[in-house]
Every structure is written in C-alpha cells, then in structure tokens.
Homo-oligomer: A and B are copies of this chain.
Amino acid sequence: MTIEGTTASTGPNRRLRLGMVGGGRGAFIGGVHRIAARLDDRYELVAGALSSDPERAKASGADLFLASERCYASFAEMAQAEAARDDRIDVVSVVTPNHRHHDAAKAFLEAGIHVICDKPLTTSVEDAEDLAATVERTALIFVLTHNYTGYPMIRQARAMVEAGELGRIRVVQVEYPQDWLTTRLEATGQKQAEWRTDPARSGIAGCVGDIGTHAFQLAEFVTGLRCTQVAADLTTFVEGRPLDDNAHMLLRYDNGARGMLWASQVAPGNENGLRLRVYGDKGGLEWFQEQPNALRFAPFGEPPRTITRGGPGSNPAAGHATRIPSGHPEGYLEGFAQIYRDAADLIVARLGGPQPDPQAALVPGVRDGVRGVRFIHAAVESSRRGASWVEI
C-alpha cells in the first residue's frame, strides 16, 4: 500500500508530462482520465487537443490551466509540435470516441510518444492489427484503459488463480448489465447515448463493444485463459436503434473451461453491474464491481470467506493496487488511477528509472486491444449466423 507513488528514488525526479486528445468540455471520460492521472501525483497535464472544435479546444485548455500555446486544434498538429519541444510530453492519453483511436494513437507513436488509450482499441480488426504492429515496431509503451483490471481485488483474484487456489478452472460466468438504454435515450440528445449507438462512431457493435469487451477482457485477465470460441445471440430491443443493446454468449476456453457472458444496457435496476464468477475444481471466486472492495472465495468443502482489500488474506497483488487501509472503500476512480500509476512505472523505467514492480506490467496493452476487437467481430459474426460458434 502506498499513498503516493513517487519517491526520490524512482527515476526522473519529476512528474510525467501528459497530453490529452479528446476530453474537452462536455466530455465524460476525459475528466475521469485526468482524475486518475492526478490521484497518485505521477503526472502533470501540460498539453491537449481537447476538441476538434478550436474554440472549445482553447476554452477547455484554459479550464485545465494549460498554456495556450499547448492547446492544439488537432492531434496531428499536437503530435508534431510536441515532438519538437525539449519539454515535450512523455505520454498522451487518447480519450476520443472509438473511431478516432487508431489515427490519434498512431500519430503519437510515430512521433515517439508513449500512449494511453481508451477501449475498445479500434473499430476494425485491420486497424487494431495495424496499431499493434506500430506499437511493436516503435517499442513504445501502449496502455489500454481496461480500467476494471486496476481494482485491487481483481489483482488479488488473478494472483489466486495463478497460484492454483481454484485448481483447474472449469466454469466462467461473467456479466455486465446496465439499464441506462432501456428507452431510446439517444433520441433525446444525450451525448453519451448518441455516439455509443451510432455505428459511425462506435463501430459494428453497441453493447458488445461498449461493455461486453470489458467483461470479456476481465474474465481472461483473472483466469489467465484464452477464449477460443464464442456463440452469440445479440439483440436490439429498443426500436430504431441500429446496434445491439443486449448480448447473450456461450464461451469456450483453451483449457476446456466453459463460460457465459451477458452484457445488457436494457436491464432495469442494474447500474454498472459487472460481475465475475470463476469456478475451478478446488474453489470458486466471486466479485461484483459495485462493491469492489470485497472478494468472495469459497475453497471447496470449507466455508466461503470474504477477503477485503487490505484485510486478512489479501495478497501482495492487491496491496500493489491500493492506497488506504481496509474498510475505507476505494472505488472506480482509484481503480482507474491504478492503470495510470502502473503506466507511470513502465514509462519511468524507459526514462532511466527503476524497473517496475512486475504487477505494473499487468496493465492491458495493445494486444489486449486486438483481442477485444476480434471478440467484437466474432460475436457479431456468430450472431449473424444464428449463434453458431465462431473462432476468436
């Protein structure tokens, strides 16, 4: 447990200089990224292409105390200009809608700048592969904000599975129900609903891309298994919506385990109900995002126990990802911040700082992004073919 991540010994004795693409006034997730970046005091935001509208870009920059010459009108201009500065940004956060991730991220990678990028990685498999190739060619750090992997009890769960505490994994149940699209919210002008239900900005999937990818990735992250096949039944329940708003899937994993994935945005009474349950031949684990500080562990034949962040039975992997003692709940922002903290460790190492804790290397990267895009496309393809099995 560390309250703050920086000490005199961790490499360049300064905060990392951060830029941001997207996230101007009226955006949601950009603000979350900024809180996450500030929380552990490892970054200072110094540059941005915060909006494609130049006026809004400048005003948004002023809100955030950016120097006006570092408020850019486009990511292309920003990548070029920053690359030319002595005090150029160390890393950029790409927080635009999905359809711009590829081009923006690529521009900074080509300029030699590390990237933190929102998920899903891209809207097409081709773009995803191209970005992965670019990352691999440039050998830069690329972090994908599958933020739920930053929760301490998810790190705990992963380490427990890896240590064999569940035995051989047999069954994976993952679900992510929400209710905010139960009605046709996008028709009211609600911004978040608009772009997420618009194929031009979201890609070929709605609910599957927006939250199904989180569920899919979380299950693989915790179990260490690879999902090889999916049989999916996607549905659009709200009339006039061009993309799926409910997804039912059967999953098969590389070790023979079987799974189910449910993602929905039309399930009244569910706010952000990401839930993962994993069962092996020695025990079971259950975790619920809305109460993230607890993990239920049932060793077969023994009473189930509740392991809390920092409480008895919590492991170093959980400890790596937390700040405050047990009983003082951490939440979504702290989980998100963990991704930024780990990214900082990786980047600082590149700048000559110490080798990061191996836990830091667990942050999702570009290959996770490629898998996510492949998952989306496999799910859509399976559903089109009547829920036939499709390889991922």
The closest CB in chain B to the CB of A41 belongs to B38
* Chain B CB within 10 Å, residue with most, of A268, A328, A388: A268
Chain B residues, Cβ within 8 Å of A354: none
A282 at the B interface (CB under 8 A): yes
Contacting pair B268 A282 (CB below 8 A) = yes
Render A289-303 as a binary contact track against B, CB cut-off 8 A, 1 for contact.
111110011111111
A111 at the B interface (CB under 8 A): no
Chain B residues, Cβ within 8 Å of A170: 235, 237, 246, 266
Interface size classification for chain A: 35 or more
Interface window among A73-81, A96-104, A329-337:
A329-337
Contacting pair B41 A6 (CB below 8 A) = no
Complex CA gap A260/B261 in Å reads: 9
With both chains docked as a complex, state the minimum distance between the C-beta of A188 and any C-beta of chain B, in angstroms.
13
Contacting pair A326 B280 (CB below 8 A) = no
Chain B residues, Cβ within 8 Å of A164: none
Interface window among A85-93, A133-141, A271-279, A366-374:
A271-279
Contacting pair B300 A182 (CB below 8 A) = yes
A171 at the B interface (CB under 8 A): yes
A52 at the B interface (CB under 8 A): no
Given contacts A268-B279, A296-B269, A312-B303, contact A231 B250 (CB under 8 A): yes
A386 at the B interface (CB under 8 A): yes
Chain B residues, Cβ within 8 Å of A127: none
Contacting pair B268 A280 (CB below 8 A) = yes
Chain B residues, Cβ within 8 Å of A252: 233
Complex CA gap A286/B269 in Å reads: 9
Chain B residues, Cβ within 8 Å of A31: 3-4, 323
Contacting pair A300 B333 (CB below 8 A) = no
With both chains docked as a complex, state the minimum distance between the C-beta of A367 and any C-beta of chain B, in angstroms.
26
With contacts A182-B281, A302-B312 known, what are 10 further pairs, Cβ within 8 A? A3-B32, A13-B62, A39-B333, A268-B284, A268-B298, A272-B326, A303-B305, A331-B331, A331-B334, A386-B389
Q: Which residues of A are interface residues toward B (Cβ below 8 A)? A: 3-4, 6-8, 13-15, 28, 30-32, 34-35, 38-41, 59, 62-65, 170-171, 173, 175, 178-179, 182-183, 231, 233, 235, 237, 246, 248, 250, 252, 258-260, 262, 264, 266-273, 277, 279-284, 286, 289-293, 296-308, 311-313, 323-334, 386-389
